[in-house]
Each structure stands twice: as structure tokens, then as C-alpha cells.
């Protein structure tokens, strides 16, 4: 076992040393006379596109072959990580949906911190845990990196969970808030005053968003622009439909109370459908303890007395 570990370590060090020497040699500039085309190109650069291309500054690449080989793998890995963890745009959208005041850079820093903690825990587990002693060397070496990746994924999962929970709260608040806006508009208030009243009276996620809209309007942002920013930032289906209808009514001069009353009815119907679908899923989930816990115990209580009688009788 020791000889295998030494051989594997020697092979890895040899590969690393070979790659380093290859990169150093490939970075050495060529020594020799320039070609005829290279000598003539400066004099005809204003007439020949090929000469301009030849004279164009090229970035120094010390590993041309290595870059060609590794670049597709790096692009694939970047795509996979973006699909799993999300790019900066996706992260910014999730932070907005979660109601967080953090920016993307701070979130990436937290992801890095979680990865560092995971790497430290994985390394400590690979070194200290007695169960890892009998495992292959490659498993013990890969454990810290796997733990670091899991740390980054866990931080992204926490953000997604927070965003889903906040969107669910907005879904539950949307019908009531729209009906309150309808009552305020029916009483003779304008749209901005109705939003201000909802923001001052309510104590939820959606009233807080409307308070931000009122604050933006107070700084000089048009009401339509502030509502559009709310729609694009939160990206909630029901709220987006309601805001689109409100913007269309504001643009055409249609009565807002009727529009919001219809949207409140649609939001309540959507909430009912969501509750029915959730009840269907919970009903299926309730069969799991019934089949795997309650039913075996019931069968055991029913059959055990007969089994005991058969054993004692024979």
C-alpha cells in the first residue's frame, strides 16, 4: 500500500513538472529572421487587410495547445456551474425575490466562505476520521474539494429557499392587498395615495414593496416606471399580471377599481387552485407513513397472536 501511494505521488509530481516545463518552453520567444510577409506588412498596412491582421497585437498565450484542450472543458464546467448555482443575473434576481439587501459580490463572498468552511471540514474529516484510513488515496484527496462544492451549493440552496418562501407569502397576500387597493380607489383616492395607504397600513412583504414604490416616486421616478421595476424585480406571475393591467389602465385612462377588482378575483381563484394542488400532493405524501409504518404494525398485531398460538400448540 505504501509503495502504491509513493508511485501515485511520484506520477502526479512528474506530470506537474512536465506541464510546468512545457509552459515555460512554449513561452520562450522564437529566435530567427522574420518572414518576408512580416517585413513588408508595415508598409502596406493601409492598403491590405491581411497586413493589418498580421500586425494586429495578439495576446500572449504561453499554453496554446493546453488552452485548446482545456477550454471546452472549462466552458462546459462554467455552464454546469451557472445552471446549478446561477449566473450573476440569476443571483441578483433571487436576492431581489428574497428581499435581501445584499449585492451579488457579497453573496459570492458568502459562497466562498461556505466553500472554505466545507473544504476545512472535508480536510479535517479526511485526516482525522478513522473510517477514511482504509479508503483509497484519491477519495481522501477528493473529499475536501467535494465538501467545498457542497458548501457553495448549500449557500445557493438557502437563497433559493428564501426566495421561494417570500414569493409564497406574496401569493398569500396578493388577493387581500388588491382588494384593499380597490376599496381605496373606490373611495376616491388616486393610485399613488392608495399605494401609500397600503404601505402604511399593511405589515407584509407586498405592502413593503409598495412602500418602496411610493418612496421611489417621492424621489422623482414616474409611477409607471416604479411599478414596472417592481414587476420585473419580483417576477411573481400574479403580481406581474396585476401590474400589467394597472399600467395598461393608466396608459388608456381606464377605471382602475374595476381592473383591480378583477385581478383580486383572479388571485383568489389562483390561490384556491394552489391549495387544491397542495392538498393533492400532501394526500399522496400521507400514504408513505400509512403504508410503511402503520400498516406493518397493524399486520404484526393481527398475525402475532395466531403465530404465537401455533408455536405453543405444536
**Which cell numbers hold the place of 152?**
457553495
Helix (H, G, I), strand (E, B) or coil at 152: helix
Which residues lie closer than 8 Å to 4 by C-beta, 6 or more apart?
Answer: none
Give the pLDDT score at 18.
78
Averaged pLDDT, 136-143: 77
Residue 43 is classified by DSSP as: G
Helix axes 223-234, 88-97, angle to 10 degrees: 110
Is 191 part of a structural domain of the chain? Answer: yes
pLDDT in tens, 210-245: 999 999 998 888 988 999 999 888 888 888 888 888
More confident residue, 127 or 85: 127
Give the burial class of 276: count Cβ atoms within 10 A of its Cβ; 0-12 exposed, 13-18 middle, 19 or more buried.
exposed
Give the pLDDT score at 159.
92
Gap between the Cα atoms of 85 and 280, Å rounded: 30
The pLDDT-based confidence of 84 (bands split at 50, 70, 90) is low
Ranges of H-type helices in 130-204? 137-186, 191-201
More confident residue, 49 or 60: 49
Is 71 part of a structural domain of the chain? Answer: no
Give the pLDDT score at 50.
79
**Structural domain that includes position 209:** 169-277
Give the pLDDT score at 60.
47
Is 64 part of a structural domain of the chain? Answer: no
**Which cell numbers hold the place of 198?**
397600503
Is 178 part of a structural domain of the chain? Answer: yes
Is 185 part of a structural domain of the chain? Answer: yes
Rg (CA), the chain: 33
- Report the CATH number at residue 240: 1.20.81
Is 249 part of a structural domain of the chain? Answer: yes
Q: Contact, 64 vs 27, CB < 8 A?
A: no
Give the pLDDT score at 162.
93
Is 131 part of a structural domain of the chain? Answer: no
Is 261 part of a structural domain of the chain? Answer: yes
Number of domains comprising the chain: 1
The pLDDT-based confidence of 260 (bands split at 50, 70, 90) is confident
Closest CA to 174 of 101, 246, 224: 246
pLDDT in tens, 104-132: 888 888 888 898 898 888 888 877 766 55
Query: pLDDT above 70 covers what percent of the chain?
Result: 81
Q: Contact, 145 vs 173, CB < 8 A?
A: no
Which residues lie closer than 8 Å to 146 by C-beta, 6 or more apart?
Answer: 122
Helix (H, G, I), strand (E, B) or coil at 164: helix
Amino acid at each position: 500500500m505504501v509503495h502504491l501511494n509513493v508511485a501515485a505521488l511520484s506520477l502526479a509530481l512528474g506530470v506537474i513538472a512536465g506541464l510546468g516545463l512545457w509552459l515555460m518552453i512554449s513561452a520562450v520567444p522564437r529566435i530567427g529572421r522574420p518572414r518576408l510577409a512580416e517585413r513588408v506588412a508595415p508598409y502596406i498596412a493601409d492598403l491590405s487587410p491581411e497586413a493589418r491582421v498580421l500586425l494586429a497585437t495578439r495576446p500572449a498565450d504561453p499554453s496554446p495547445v493546453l488552452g485548446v484542450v482545456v477550454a471546452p472543458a472549462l466552458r462546459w464546467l462554467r455552464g454546469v456551474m451557472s445552471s446549478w448555482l446561477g449566473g450573476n443575473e440569476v443571483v441578483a434576481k433571487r436576492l431581489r425575490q428574497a428581499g435581501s439587501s445584499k449585492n451579488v459580490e457579497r453573496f459570492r463572498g458568502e459562497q466562498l466562505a461556505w466553500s472554505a468552511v466545507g473544504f476545512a471540514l472535508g480536510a479535517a474529516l479526511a485526516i482525522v476520521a478513522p473510517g477514511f484510513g482504509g479508503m483509497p488515496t484519491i477519495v481522501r484527496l477528493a473529499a475536501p474539494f467535494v465538501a467545498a462544492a457542497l458548501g457553495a451549493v448549500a449557500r445557493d440552496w438557502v437563497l433559493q429557499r428564501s426566495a421561494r418562501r417570500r414569493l409564497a407569502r406574496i401569493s398569500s397576500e396578493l388577493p387581500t392587498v388588491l382588494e384593499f387597493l380597490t376599496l381605496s380607489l373606490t373611495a376616491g383616492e388616486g393610485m399613488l395615495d392608495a399605494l401609500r395607504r397600503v404601505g402604511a397600513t399593511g405589515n407584509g412583504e407586498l405592502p413593503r414593496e409598495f412602500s418602496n414604490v411610493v418612496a421611489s416616486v417621492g424621489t422623482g421616478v414616474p409611477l409607471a416606471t416604479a411599478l414596472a421595476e417592481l414587476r420585473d424585480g419580483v417576477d411573481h406571475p400574479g403580481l406581474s399580471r396585476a401590474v400589467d393591467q394597472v399600467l395598461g389602465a393608466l396608459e388608456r385612462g381606464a377605471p382602475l377599481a374595476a381592473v383591480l377588482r378583477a385581478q383580486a378575483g383572479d388571485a383568489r381563484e389562483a390561490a384556491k387552485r394552489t391549495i387544491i394542488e397542495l392538498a393533492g400532493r400532501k394526500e399522496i405524501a400521507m400514504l408513505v407513513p400509512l403504508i410503511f409504518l402503520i400498516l406493518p404494525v397493524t399486520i404484526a398485531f393481527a398475525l402475532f397472536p395466531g403465530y404465537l398460538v401455533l408455536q405453543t400448540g405444536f
